[in-house]
Structure 1
Amino acid sequence: MNSRHEHIIQLVNERGSVSVSELAQLTGVSEVTIRQDLNALERDNFLKRVHGSAVAPDSDDVNSRMQTRYKIKQGLAEFAASQIGDGEAIFIEGGSTNALLARALASRSDLTIITVSHFIAHLLRDSQCEVVILGGQYQKSSESVVGPLTRYCIQQLNFHKAFIGVDGWHEDTGFTGRNMMRCDVVNAVMARGTWTIALTDSSKFGSVHPYPISIEHTFSQIITDDGLSPDIRNTLIKQKYQLDIVAQLR
């Protein structure tokens, strides 16, 4: 393994996901070379390749992903918590930043938190808020429930806001996810017509994953950090999203 490979592994583990184009810029080699590097590193299980990006091999492990870009995600979670009014019922879908949001809300006894994530429910086991966890097929890798029963539960509940984790966004595809069944749950939430918020750090923008999110129903709001490129920021504004940029903690 050469020094460039070590640098790539470090970047992917720190960010969770890095695009091929960004890796080429950061390492000073061509995208063709980066793709060859990623093929070799994937064979040795150092990372996983998805369309146009590399992701950490434990990218479905919420506890591990909470540690990557922690300060940025914590800042996003604190801002998101400030958006929640007294007495609201909120849906928190899953993911590392959403887990930090749930932890930030744990002391608010006036709130009801609805979630499909057993990881988040476990974080809230000693919380002051009311916790509702939905039924469904349990996915061990993501510690979330999915499937028809989960969709049915979503249809039977009301909530004021929904916070959604996303895996990628690209101008050509919109928001995408790695897991088909989790994306199905997200689309069921968005079909309710509730105020939906994409809560994600800026490293997810520019990458594409197999499964589309929010084809028929767009997000009401996006909360991300100031690592977002000016081009992507302008595109999102032109697409009429309410875009909230949170300054990174340095």
Structure 2
Amino acid sequence: MLAASRKDLLLERLRRDGRVVAKDIAAELGISADSVRRDLRELDAAGLAVRVYGGALPASPAVVAYAARDAVAPDSKRRVAARAAALIQPGSTVILDGGTTTRAVVDALPKTLACTVITHSPTIAAALLDHAAEVFLLGGRLFKHSAVTCGAAAAEAAAQISAEVFLLGVTGVHPTAGLTTADADEAAMKRALAARAAETYVLASAEKVGAASRYTVLPWDAVTGVVTDVDSADPTIAQLEDDGVEVLYAGVAHAGGQGHQGSAPR
């Protein structure tokens, strides 16, 4: 089998199974594991897969530059955002991550809602200018790819705040890889923010579910739940529920045909 055909097969298996194991593919095709690993390295370099020990996981399409992210799964983001916005209660304090899904949460919030929003994203802060919410913007080095602050100064600022809820944005939501993003400093900042909230909910729009990025943000036992519009029959979502992860469904049909909006925050 030619290398191009092998790569097509690997990508198909990543879409179908959510991961590939190099030694299994090598045995199936009757080629060396080194050949499969070389193919996976090239797919990783092209941004089409994320290499992990023994094989690879599907790469997230959510790692594109900030300006291009609005065009990625916009309807899914709006549904997830509407469900997540309902978690923000009058008088509460919430931490909003950066990203286009969180920006959609701002759009879904009633402008008259009296609450306190803490964010490390200048774009999120600016979007709240005509809202009743009190806004605190955490300073630090601006990571332009995601339009958020991170680094030592931002982490130090985060250590001084606390909130009831953190709405966390990631680029990968995978049952075994956990919650991931594409930059190490950004992942560290997300952990710092999660540590300051009583509850952390993951904003899991469709393009992120079943995908992975390079750097781990949090393990599953460190979050309260996942907000998604992906059907519960999806293999990733089904596995998360089997593992005891709380899933809040946003405007989709639950497996079996019944709409399900999830439970209230614990």
TM tier, shorter chain?
A: 0.7 to 0.9
TM-score by length of 2: 0.71
Separation (CA, whole Å) in 2 of partners of 1:130 and 1:94? 17
Identity across aligned pairs (percent)? 22
What's the CA shift for 1:111? 1.3
Task: Tell me the residue number matched to 1:186.
Answer: 190
Runs of 4+ in structure 1 off by over 3 angstroms are 19-25, 47-50, 52-58, 227-230
Structure 1 residue identity aligned to 2:13: S
Separation (CA, whole Å) in 2 of partners of 1:108 and 1:21? 48
Tell me if the contact between 1:224 and 1:246 (Cα under 8 Å) persists in the aligned partners: yes
What's the CA shift for 1:187? 0.8
What's the CA shift for 1:39? 5.8
Counterpart selection for 2:96 from 92, 97, 101? 92
SS of the counterpart of 2:76? Answer: helix
Separation (CA, whole Å) in 1 of partners of 2:61 and 2:207? 13
Structure 2 residue identity aligned to 1:66: D
Task: Tell me the residue number matched to 1:3.
Answer: none
What's the CA shift for 1:238? 2.7
Aligned pair count reads: 221
Question: What's the CA shift string for 1:96-126, capped at 9, x where partnerless?
Answer: 1111002222603411111111121222233
Q: Which runs of 5+ in 2 are unaligned?
A: 1-7, 18-24, 30-37, 51-56, 254-266
Task: Tell me the residue number matched to 1:59.
Answer: 64
Which structure 2 residues correspond to residues 30-179 of structure 1 after superposition, within 5 A? 48-51=47-50, 52-54=57-59, 59-61=64-66, 63-105=67-109, 107-179=111-183
**Cα gap change, 1:24 to 1:216, in 2 (>3 Å):** closer
SS of the counterpart of 1:213? Answer: strand
Task: Tell me the residue number matched to 2:215.
Answer: 211
Question: What's the CA shift string for 1:174-198, capped at 9, x where partnerless?
Answer: 1111111111011112223520000
Separation (CA, whole Å) in 2 of partners of 1:175 and 1:106? 29
TM-score by length of 1: 0.76
Structure label with greater radius of gyration: 2
SS of the counterpart of 1:182? Answer: helix
**Cα gap change, 1:54 to 1:125, in 2 (>3 Å):** same
Counterpart selection for 1:21 from 13, 18, 25? 13
